[in-house]
Amino acid sequence: MSSVYIHIPFCTNICSYCDFCKMYYNEEIVDSYLEALEKEIKSCYKNELIKTIYIGGGTPSSLTIKQLNKLFNITKIFKLDNDIEFTIECNPENTTDDKLQLFKENGINRLSIGIQTFNNNYLKLLNRSHTKEQAVELINNAKKLNINNISIDLMYGLPNQTIEEIADDINEILKLNIAHISTYSLILEEHTKLYIDNIKNIDDDLEYDMYKLIIKELQANNYIHYEISNFSKAGYESKHNLNYWNNNNYYGFGLGSHGYIDNIRYENTRSINKYLNGEYLYQKEQLSIKTTMQNEMILGLRKISGVNKQAFINKYNKPIEEAFAINTLLSTNQLIDNSNNIYIPEDKLYVSNDILINFID
Ligand SMILES: C[S@@+](CC[C@H](N)C(=O)[O-])C[C@H]1O[C@@H](n2cnc3c(N)ncnc32)[C@H](O)[C@@H]1O
Ligand code: SF4
């Protein structure tokens, strides 16, 4: 069984921090893009059962109803598991009630909403084109339609942001009883407006305090911290993202998408002209067993539960301890072995990169 990621690289507005694969929405280009996407999927998909679909962006909700209808018709190509998790990313400024209704009619059962913050001043700084009020309205409208599996993206470590302001965002999340939260500390990416404007990062210690506060408050309110940056109510973990962290197969369709099928990691072109001409692929690499095992650890240790020891043996015919020299990591408590799983202890998650680097040559 595989997962499917579909990239919709169009936005009606460009945020001041964003370095993702995206461009301004243009009706004709979107129409051509959907034609190309359908061809790409038909040429690559091998008819496996699909357990999760994630339509991400960019801003999928920037498409018109007609274009969304076309997109959902394309997804009918896939053979779906009965228990499919079907997510679409949507932004508050353009997710109308009609679109929510259409999502429901087409089997969407999870929304990932780009909230970022509930503070209107920071929303302006981030050049988001929505307000806190629109964000709250979208969440409430979705719930009215019984779409309760809602995830939001929350950014922290914003320029001049205080710990109290993060506490306010968390309070808003708790009031709205959101099922899933993905957190992101601001990265000042080159070529973005914030970078060009020479905006400075906040202090590292303050950012760490914000991370700790988010964990503490969410855990105190029955959220499960299940991945370094992800939290959910019980049963609302993202099946799609867990598939990545479990190092399982997934297709990546659309501009700039990444996929991993039959031990081949591939990356699509970021050139819209090439993509529309049917030159989808940018590069691909057949992974060795060693690289696959390294990925199993690097991705799996992002989960709070870590890597299951028996599952590793089932996949690679050898125990983790034989595949990697982890004795020092264990004796210094950078990794914990609870006899079922090997995992990074919670107090070291923030510096997990220093630990994960040990699994790279
Ligand atoms: C690829 S974006 C797409 C989501 C959607 N288009 C939106 O803007 O809400 C996924 C998430 O990554 C996060 N993100 C993007 N750029 C970032 C940056 N430079 N630093 C931190 N988080 C970032 C944001 O929280 C964003 O919602
Ligand atoms: S953060 Fe989302 S909406 Fe903003 S430019 Fe990036 S992809 Fe588009």
pLDDT value for 1: 73
Sign of CA dihedral 128, 150, 144, 65: positive
Q: What is the DSSP track for 86-142?
A: EEEEE-TTT--HHHHHHHHHTT--EEEEEEE-S-HHHHHHTT-S--HHHHHHHHHHH
pLDDT value for 124: 97
pLDDT value for 361: 80
Distance of CA 149 to the CA centre of its chain: 15
Bridge partners of 55, per DSSP, are 6, 88
The secondary structure element, H or E, covering residue 8 is strand 2-8
Q: d(Cα 182, Cα 348) in Å, to the nearest integer?
A: 19
In order along its 361 residues, the chain shows pLDDT tens digits of 799 999 999 999 999 999 999 999 999 999 999 999 999 999 999 999 999 999 999 999 999 999 999 999 999 999 999 999 999 999 999 999 999 999 999 999 999 999 999 999 999 999 999 999 999 999 999 999 999 999 999 999 999 999 999 999 999 999 999 999 999 999 999 999 999 999 988 999 999 999 999 999 999 999 999 999 999 999 999 999 999 999 999 999 999 999 999 999 999 999 999 999 999 999 999 999 999 999 999 999 999 999 999 999 999 999 999 999 999 999 999 999 999 999 999 999 988 999 999 999 8
Choose one of 8, 10, 12, 15 to mutate for the ligand 2 pocket test, by most ligand atoms within 8 angstroms of C-beta.
15
Q: What is the 3-state secondary structure (H, E, C) of 182-241?
A: EEEECCCCCCCHHHHCCCCCCCHHHHHHHHHHHHHHHHHCCCEEEECCEEECCCCCCHHH
Sign of CA dihedral 186, 56, 154, 250: negative
In the chain, what is the straight-line distance between the N-terminal and C-terminal CA atoms, in Å? 30
| Ligand 1 site residues, Cβ closer than 6 angstroms | 17-20, 57-59, 89, 91, 114, 116, 153, 155, 184, 186-187, 189
| Ligand 2 site residues, Cβ closer than 6 angstroms | 11, 14-15, 18, 20, 22, 57-59, 91, 114
Strands 224-227 and 230-232: antiparallel
Is-above-0.85 flag for pTM?
A: yes
Q: d(Cα 85, Cα 89) in Å, to the nearest integer?
A: 13
Residue among 1, 8, 3 nearest 257 (CA): 8
Q: d(Cα 136, Cα 125) in Å, to the nearest integer?
A: 19
